[in-house]
Amino acid sequence: MTQSTPGARPPVKVLHITDPHLLADESERFLGLDTAQTLRDVLELAGRDKDWPPDLVLLTGDCVQVPTRESYARLRSILAPLNLPCYCLPGNHDDPALMAAELNQGDIRCQKQILAGDWQIVMLDSTIPNDAAGCLADRELALLEQLLSQEPRRHAAVVLHHQPVPVYSQWLDTMALPPNNRERLLLLLGRHRQVRLVLWGHIHQVYDGHSGNLRLLATPSTCVQFTPKSEEFAIEAAPPGYRWLNLHADGKLETRVVRLPEPPAGLELGSTGY
């Protein structure tokens, strides 16, 4: 168990998983991988974590590779046995409306606001229909402003799919939030000093940085990993993993990334895209 100061409320424990690219049929493969199995393997590893169970799970997009009722049903069948609140947001491979219709059942939820202990978590949709790139629409930024204004005494984490800052991988950064959109987001967050964290998926690799007092984090995919700082699409021979976050009552956070012992068998390292 995570240690906390005597008399203080315990931290909110969060399991972050991202980009499972789940397929509808068990015979299908994504870049050589059975992505349902790699997701199960990551969740099984997390289930042996010293801090298990988390208070909630965040899944930050590209939940499926091709959005169909069957692929989302398969994802639901993997997440439901956790018996934990699982909050999902869409990525560029998802259909937000279909995803919400298929996943909003029981403990699996697609919602914008999560209130957990002394923290507010805001889940944003950065997708653009029929486009792999990301952008936060005016309605998303307006909602973020509204929710942060409503809860000024709670520390806040802002969660989305696309990277809000460059990660210095040329092909991936063509899909990041565009500069003007990024500037609007960071200016908005700067007006709300309770925001401690921005967390995202999409890049299939670890990112850990800062923008002023903001912690900026991304997490490995539960399936394929992309080579960091690569000009072109490239797969790294790195294992899938998850991120653990402990969100403390005083606004501090602790985090660590945990990976499977080795890359999954069948990974198509020479692939030039998908």
**Can you give the pLDDT at residue 274?**
87
3-state DSSP assignment of residue 63? coil
Radius of gyration of the chain (CA): 18
What local confidence, expressed as pLDDT, does residue 273 receive?
Answer: 87
CA-to-CA distance for 156 and 10, rounded, in angstroms?
A: 16
**Quick one: pLDDT at residue 8?**
74
Q: Which residue has the tokens 């890359």?
A: 263
How many angstroms separate the CA atoms of 50 and 254, rounded?
14
Task: Specify whether the CB–CB gap between 18 and 205 falls below 8 A.
Answer: no
Can you give the pLDDT at residue 4? 46
**CATH fold of 12-259, please?**
Purple Acid Phosphatase; chain A, domain 2 (3.60.21)
Closest CA to 20 of 105, 86, 115: 86
Residue-level length of the chain: 274
Name the DSSP letter for residue 8.
S
The domain limits of the chain are 12-259
pLDDT tens by residue, the chain, 274 residues: 344 444 578 999 999 999 999 999 999 999 999 999 999 999 999 999 999 999 999 999 999 999 999 999 999 999 999 999 999 999 999 999 999 999 999 999 999 999 999 999 999 999 999 999 999 999 999 999 999 999 999 999 999 999 999 999 999 999 999 999 999 999 999 999 999 999 999 999 999 999 988 999 999 999 999 999 999 999 999 999 999 999 999 999 999 999 999 999 999 998 988 8
Report the half-sphere exposure of 14 (CA within 13 A, side-chain side).
Answer: 29
* Token pair for 151: 């809860």
Residue 7 is predicted with a pLDDT of: 54
The kind and range of the H/E element at 35 are: helix 35-46
Pick the closest to residue 264 from 228, 244, 229, 235 (CA basis).
235
* Cα 144 to Cα 185: distance, rounded to the nearest angstrom: 9
What does the H/E/C string look like for 182-247? HHHHHHHHHCCCCEEEEEECCCCCCEEEEECCEEEEECCCCCCEECCCCCCCCEECCCCEEEEEEE
Cα–Cα distance, 76 to 193 (Å, whole number): 36
How far is residue 172's CA from residue 166's CA, in Å, rounded to a whole number? 9
